[in-house]
Structure 1
C-alpha cells in the first residue's frame, strides 16, 4: 500500500503534465486530472510560436550547456580517478574525502562564492562561466566517485603491462582504461545530463534573466505576473521534457549496464 502511494506521488506530476499539454485552458481549470476530451495540439503550436522563442532558445542553450559540461567532466573525472588509483591508500582516502564535501555541501551554500570567482575571472553572466561552474561543482565529485569505484575492478597487471611496453600514462588512460570504463561513462553522462538539464538555480543566478536562458529559466519566465495561460505553460513543459526523456530511452541499456556492472564488481 505504501509503495503504491509513493509510486502514485512520483507519477502524478508526469501524468498531469502529459494530459494537460493536450487540453484547452477551460478544460484544465475545470478538471486538471481528467484526460483530454477532445485532445488538442494548440498548446504545442502556441508554445513553439511564441514571439520570445522560449522553446527554441531554451532548448538550444540547455543542449549546448549540457554537452559542453559533460564533455569536460567525463575526461577530467576519469583521468583524475585513474591518477588517484595509482596513489597510496592514504592519499586516495584524503582526496575522496575532499570530493565528498563537494557532494554533501548544498549548491546554494557555494553559489555566492562561485559567482564572486566568476566575476573576478570576468565570466559572470556568460555561458562559459555556467559551464565552468558545472565542471567545478558537485558534478565532478560525482564523476570521480563513480569512476573510482569502477577502476578498482581494472586489473593492475593491464596497466603495468602497457607501461612495460613503453606506453605513457596518458596513452594508457585513453587507449586502455577509457574503453573499459564505457558503462561508467554512460552512467555518469546520463546522470549529469539530467541534472544539468533540470538545473534552475545556477542558470538563473549566473546567467541572469536578461543575459540568457536555459529551458528551465524559460519556464520560469513564461509564468505571468498576474495571470497564467496554463494551457500554453503545460505545452512548454511537455516540450521541455521530450528531449531528456528521449535521450534516456535511447541510452537506457547502457545506463542499466553501468549500474549492474558496478554492482557486480
Structure 2
C-alpha cells in the first residue's frame, strides 16, 4: 500500500500539470502544428503568439490587465480592512445581538456568488454603479465579506483581551487600539485573506462580464473569452492569452507563499 502512494502522488501531479503543459506548449507552436499535433512539443518554439497578444492594435490585453489589477487591489484592500474591523467588533462586543449577527453573516459562506448576482446588479444599477470598476469592487465586497470575517474572527478569538484592556487604560482610542494593538497580531490572517481573495477576484469571470460590461473595458478572464472567435479560433493566441492572464496571480502567490503558509499554520495552532 505504501508503494502505491508515490505513484498516486505522481499521477495526481501529472493530472494538475497537464493543462499547464497544453497551454505552454500550445502558445509556442504555430496553429498548423497545434492542429496536427496538439500534445507534441514545439519544434522549433515560436513567440509569435505572445507577440500577437501583446501587440494587438486594440490593446485588449493591456487594458484588461489594468482593469484586473485595479479591481483586484481595490477589492482585496477593502475586504481586508472591512472584514478585520467587523470581525473585531462582533467578537469583542458584549451585546446580545452580535453573536446571532456573526452567525447570520457567516451563513453567507454557503451562498454562491452567482445566486445573488442579479439582485446585486439591480442595486448597483439603482445607485449608478453599473459599468464601472467601483461597481465590480462593491459586488466583490458583498460576495467575499463573510469569508474575511470568518478568518479574522477565528484569529481575534485567540488574541488575549488583556492587551486591549491595557491599551484602553492607557487612554488609547478605539481607532488607535485596533490599528496599533489588534491589527498587527492579525498579519498572518491578513496575508491568508489577501492571497485567497486576490486569486478569487482575479479569476472571477461572471461578475466583470456582467457588471463591468463592454463599455468600461474588460478583465483578463473576460479577455480570454473575447479572444475566442465566433466562427473560428486561433488557438495559439488563445493559449498565449490564457498564459499571460494566469502569470500575474502565479507570481503574486509565489511572492507571498511564506506569509500564506504562516497564516495557515498559525490558524492551526490557534
Same fold by TM-score greater than 0.5? yes
Q: Which residue of 2 aligns with 1:55?
A: 61
TM-score where L is the length of structure 1: 0.95
Q: CA deviation at 1:98?
A: 1.6
Q: Which residue of 1 aligns with 2:4?
A: none
5+ long unaligned stretches in structure 2:
1-6
> 1:125-163 deviations in whole A, cap 9, x for unaligned?
1111111111122x1111100101111111111011001
129, 136, 139: which one pairs with 1:130?
136
Q: Which residue of 2 aligns with 1:206?
A: 211
C-alpha contact 2:151 2:193 (8 A) present in aligned 1 = yes
Q: Which residue of 1 aligns with 2:256?
A: 251
Q: Supply the distance in 2 between the matched residues of 1:30 and 1:152 (Cα, whole angstroms).
A: 59
C-alpha contact 2:188 2:262 (8 A) present in aligned 1 = yes
Note if 1:68 corresponds to 2:74.
yes
Out of 246-255 and 4-13, give the one that drifted further. 4-13
C-alpha contact 2:106 2:149 (8 A) present in aligned 1 = no
Q: Supply the distance in 1 between the matched residues of 2:114 and 2:173 (Cα, whole angstroms).
A: 41
C-alpha contact 2:79 2:145 (8 A) present in aligned 1 = yes
Note if 1:28 corresponds to 2:41.
no
Out of 31-40 and 64-73, give the one that drifted further. 31-40
> 1:2-33 deviations in whole A, cap 9, x for unaligned?
55544433221122111212111112112222
TM-score where L is the length of structure 2: 0.93
Q: Secondary structure at the match of 1:153?
A: coil
Q: Supply the distance in 2 between the matched residues of 1:261 and 1:34 (Cα, whole angstroms).
A: 44
> 1:199-250 deviations in whole A, cap 9, x for unaligned?
0000001112333201111111110000000011111111111111111111
Q: Secondary structure at the match of 2:216?
A: coil
160, 163, 166: which one pairs with 1:158?
163
Q: Which residue of 1 aligns with 2:227?
A: 222
Q: Supply the distance in 1 between the matched residues of 2:265 and 2:37 (Cα, whole angstroms).
A: 42
110, 119, 122: which one pairs with 2:116?
110
Flag the 1:260–1:211 CA change in 2: closer, same or farther, 3 A: same
Q: Supply the distance in 1 between the matched residues of 2:77 and 2:133 (Cα, whole angstroms).
A: 15
Q: Which residue of 2 aligns with 1:182?
A: 187
60, 64, 85: which one pairs with 2:91?
85
Q: Secondary structure at the match of 2:256?
A: helix
Q: Which residue of 2 aligns with 1:98?
A: 104
C-alpha contact 2:90 2:99 (8 A) present in aligned 1 = no
C-alpha contact 2:90 2:102 (8 A) present in aligned 1 = no
Note if 1:233 corresponds to 2:238.
yes
Q: Secondary structure at the match of 2:255?
A: helix
Aligned residues: CA RMSD: 1.5
C-alpha contact 2:26 2:34 (8 A) present in aligned 1 = yes
Equivalenced residue count is: 264
Q: Supply the distance in 2 between the matched residues of 1:59 and 1:172 (Cα, whole angstroms).
A: 38
Q: Supply the distance in 1 between the matched residues of 2:97 and 2:152 (Cα, whole angstroms).
A: 16
Q: Which residue of 1 aligns with 2:267?
A: 262
5+ long unaligned stretches in structure 1:
none
